[in-house]
Amino acid sequence: MSTILAVLVDGVIYASWLFIIAAGLTIIYGVMRILNMAHGSLYALGAYAAASLAGAWLRAGLAPMASYAILVLSAVLVGVTVGPLIERGLLRYTYGRDEVVLVLVTYALFLIIEDSVKLVWGVESYFISEPYSLLGNVELGALSYPVYSGVLVLAAVAVGVALRYGIYGTRYGKLLIAVIHDREVSATLGINVNRIYLVTFTLGTTLAAIGGALTAPTVSVVPGMGVEVIVLAFAVVVIGGLGSMPGAALGALIVGLVRSAAVHFFPQVELFSIYVVMALVLAIRPRGLFVAAEARKI
Amino acid sequence: MSSFRRNTLGLGAALAALAVAAPLVPRWALFLVVISLAKGLVALGLLLLMRTGLVSFGQGLYFATGAYAAGVAANTFHLGDGVILVLAGGLAAAAVAAVLGLLLARYRAIFFAMLSLAFSMILYGLLVKTSALGSTDGFNVAPKTVFGLSLSAATGPGRYGVYALAALCAFGTAVAVDRYLRSYLGRLAPAVRDNELRVEYMGASVRNVVHLNLIIAGALAGVGGAVTALAVGHVDPEMAYWTTSGEFVFVAILSGTASVAAPFAGALLLELLRSFAYEHAPNTWQLVMGSAMLAVILFLPDGLWSVFRRRRRAAA
């Protein structure tokens, strides 16, 4: 019984983390039709920025409880600087090219950011465990969980609610939906599509960076930490359907639960259980769970 | 002179140049050429797929399959000769491609890229967890002979065995692929890329064309993997990781789809660049690679080879 509880709790915690990252990936694809291979690197950037800034904050002996705000703040900082830099500096020259070409462009970007991170932060690893240990543990039946994991779950729920309200509840969100449906018609109706793209990419980047910043206290921040994240986030959004926000949520839950079940029951299949699920979903629903198949054009 | 014959002569001249160069250049350069030829074989397979309009982010799957098949054939079945090992690698990868192709041939564009990536990550996960195949460490592969010549001898022609094998594989496949591109099925590939539905209206099976190209690309990647296993003497799961596949895509983009020789030239350029970058600035290697890739995509969408072609057209 406690094993099943552990599977569920572990799965939900892992899913929360995945959802924050995958939400950024899927919103960028939904609006801009760019499958951003550099998303994992932006996640790593967020983690590095958080480790440096929150680390400096704690070393300076300032209020440790405020370090949580610093984590989020550093992620937003990464988002609003790096996001526009990439979109204005590079991506806008590639709009209108084939989707696969855009995958290659962002793959090149991934390579560039990976090394830029090494140039800025070096190859040693960074630790900031204070925000993780500060909150202590909570007993769930026979199991003990860090309260910080609960913070992660709450953050994911907050991101989900905020995105849902932002897209369906505000004027700007409605413009976004218009652009998703038809870029050209939106432009003729006077919507500033370029600005929507800029905002979307910045938002997606910020979400990736928040994912990284919230992970930073739980792991050691090392070069290459974004490499595996990107294929996991891909699995999530492909399972749910590219560009679909509920799809990202369900995909994250599926991947999170499958992985934690694999870890608890069949540890030897942990790594590839996720990709088996992804291959299965694609085999049955080629465009993912939440996206209907498209008719072929002549 | 037909362009096929001209291409074959050109490739033959390249083969002759490789043969003449063998005793003249240092060992590390020979190794570099072997690795380039092996990667060029994988990129040649990607060229076929790109002509069909598909970009695979999972060629590492077939690359690793070929390498592991060659390794298992050498260590478990004690097949000593490099020629047989390379054949085993190519056949194993082709078989895997034939099975996965049943599913993959239904997908296009981004979904094809993602599904092929998922399959390669499945193999990576399997290899990492299979202790019989050395888990994360992989295992050593020690071929004894190539063409019946002993590889362990310090002197004699056996020293160039793997090099000669790689060169002959590259030459043979390049000529065969050049021939294939001129055949009925080969010419269908760009048509599929341009408009599938029209190809089907004209009575051809799009799925069969895609499936066939998948199998050929898989076999080429398998041969490349087997050659790499022989040259390096070691295989590990990293060969199936998605970043390995990304590097193959990089070579294919760099080379473009204009010529069957381009992938080999592109792979050689990559390996040369890499050797020098590792020597002088080890932490900026990916930065250089990424920037080069961006430059090619933005300014030379048909690959580096298109520079030659444009000049030739201007001269004519």
pLDDT digits 0-9 by tens, A165-188: 988 888 888 888 888 888 889 889
Domains held by chain A: number: 1
Helix%, strand%, coil% for chain B, nearest 5? 80, 5, 20
Q: What is the mean pLDDT of residues A138-162?
A: 83
- CA dihedral of residues A118, A120, A121, A124 (deg, nearest 10): 40
Q: Is A145 helix (H, G, I), strand (E, B) or coil?
A: strand
* pLDDT tens figures, A47-80: 998 888 888 888 777 777 777 888 888 889 999 9
Residues A111, B290: C-beta atoms closer than 8 Å:
yes
Q: Is the pLDDT of residue B313 over 70?
A: no
* pLDDT tens figures, B133-186: 877 787 877 777 776 666 665 555 666 777 878 888 888 898 888 888 888 888
**What local confidence, expressed as pLDDT, does residue B223 receive?**
93
- Measured in whole angstroms, the distance separating CA B146 from the mean position of its chain's CA atoms is 21
CATH code for the domain of A61 = 1.10.3470
**What local confidence, expressed as pLDDT, does residue B114 receive?**
83
Q: Tell me how many degrees the CA angle B35-B280-B275 measures, rounded to the nearest 5.
A: 5
**What local confidence, expressed as pLDDT, does residue B92 receive?**
92
Residues B290, A119: C-beta atoms closer than 8 Å:
no
Let me know if residue A32 belongs to a domain.
yes
B111 touching chain A per CB within 8 A: yes
Residues B291, A118: C-beta atoms closer than 8 Å:
no
**What local confidence, expressed as pLDDT, does residue A294 receive?**
64
User: Mutual orientation of helices B161-182 and B3-21 as an angle, nearest 10°?
Assistant: 170
- Measured in whole angstroms, the distance separating CA A162 from the mean position of its chain's CA atoms is 15
> What are the chain B neighbours of A90 within 8 Å (beta carbons)?
294
Domain limits at A58? 2-284
Query: Looking at per-residue confidence, does B62 or A137 come out higher?
Result: B62
* pLDDT tens figures, B261-278: 888 888 888 888 888 877
Of B197, B249, B291, the CB nearest to A112: B291
Residue A187: what residue type?
A
Establish how many alpha carbons lie within 13 A of residue A268's alpha carbon, considering only the half-sphere containing its beta carbon: 6
**What local confidence, expressed as pLDDT, does residue A80 receive?**
92
**What local confidence, expressed as pLDDT, does residue B221 receive?**
94
Determine the Cα–Cα distance for residues A187 and A190; give it in Å rounded to an integer.
Answer: 5
Q: Is A143 helix (H, G, I), strand (E, B) or coil?
A: strand
Let me know if residue A267 belongs to a domain.
yes
Of A111, A270, A296, the CB nearest to B289: A111
Let me know if residue A256 belongs to a domain.
yes
**What local confidence, expressed as pLDDT, does residue B298 receive?**
84
Read off the pLDDT band of B220 (50, 70, 90): very high
Determine the Cα–Cα distance for residues A67 and A52; give it in Å rounded to an integer.
Answer: 11
Let me know if residue A298 belongs to a domain.
no
Residue A227: what residue type?
V
Percentage of residues in chain A having pLDDT higher than 90: 12
Determine the Cα–Cα distance for residues A261 and A10; give it in Å rounded to an integer.
Answer: 9
Of B118, B129, B250, the CB nearest to A275: B118
Determine the Cα–Cα distance for residues B46 and B37; give it in Å rounded to an integer.
Answer: 14
Residues B242, A269: C-beta atoms closer than 8 Å:
no
| ipTM tops the 0.90 cut | no
Let me know if residue A29 belongs to a domain.
yes
- Measured in whole angstroms, the distance separating CA B145 from the mean position of its chain's CA atoms is 23
> What are the chain A neighbours of B111 within 8 Å (beta carbons)?
238, 282, 286-287
> What are the chain B neighbours of A100 within 8 Å (beta carbons)?
55, 109-110, 113
Let me know if residue A250 belongs to a domain.
yes
Let me know if residue A296 belongs to a domain.
no
Q: Is the pLDDT of residue B62 over 90?
A: yes
Q: Tell me how many degrees the CA angle B227-B48-A114 measures, rounded to the nearest 5.
A: 70
Let me know if residue A291 belongs to a domain.
no
* Total number of residues shown for chain B: 316
* pLDDT tens figures, A30-48: 888 888 888 989 999 999 9
Q: Give the DSSP letter of residue A297.
A: P
